[in-house]
Amino acid sequence: MARYSNTTLAEMCTAIDLTLGEALVTSSDLTVSQNYNQLTEGMNDPDVLQIYPESQAPVDSSSGATHKLTLGDSDGAVIQEEVTIHVDYYAKQRGADLSEDMAAMVAGVDAIIANLKTQDCQPFNLTNCRSFQWSWTRAVFAYGEPELKYTGARFILVLRLF
């Protein structure tokens, strides 16, 4: 019988927070890293990272499906799962000078990219995560009440677990 990964969403987000967020806070590239269970309604600091689960690709556990991997005999079959985690980077509150906003965003994005490039086999130290892919896009985030705008970037991490 095929089996699923036993890694939870909480474990995935926490692993990303520890290996990406906290590493960037320690190196002073970020002020704060907020895991999914630490998000707040308001934000006081720039250079903030927020990590939260976004979605999971459809999982088909029917027998004979080609997305299963068999390692040895049929008892070793595992079902691949793909989970998307968003990592939002709030570089700074939008100001009057776009070049200053973009300079802050580019510096932070470069630091995040440098960290992501260090992840290797078992990224983020997740035992069942065999690979991941990532992309990012520039964003202007509206946050809080009253609504404030922040220049930043959204990183989309797709973790493949099996």
What's the pLDDT tens digit per position in 55-71?
988 776 665 444 555 55
Q: Is residue 2 domain-resident?
A: no
Q: What's the residue count for the chain?
A: 162
Q: Given a cut of 80, is residue 110 above it in pLDDT?
A: yes
Q: Is residue 79 domain-resident?
A: yes
Structural domain range at position 59: 9-161
Provide the H-helix boundaries in the chain.
9-16, 22-26, 98-116
Find out whether 78 and 5 touch, Cβ atoms under 8 Å: yes
Q: Given a cut of 90, is residue 113 above it in pLDDT?
A: yes
Q: Is residue 3 domain-resident?
A: no
CA distance linking residue 57 with residue 18, whole number of Å? 24
Nearest to 127 by CA among 78, 74, 63: 78
Q: Is residue 1 domain-resident?
A: no
Q: Is residue 71 domain-resident?
A: yes
CA distance linking residue 16 with residue 147, whole number of Å? 28
Global confidence as pTM: 0.84
Any idea what the CATH number is for the domain that residue 84 is in?
3.30.2000.10
Lowest mean pLDDT segment, chosen from 49-53, 54-58, 104-108, 157-161: 54-58
CA distance linking residue 139 with residue 155, whole number of Å? 10
Split into its structural domains, the chain has a count of 1
CA distance linking residue 92 with residue 141, whole number of Å? 10
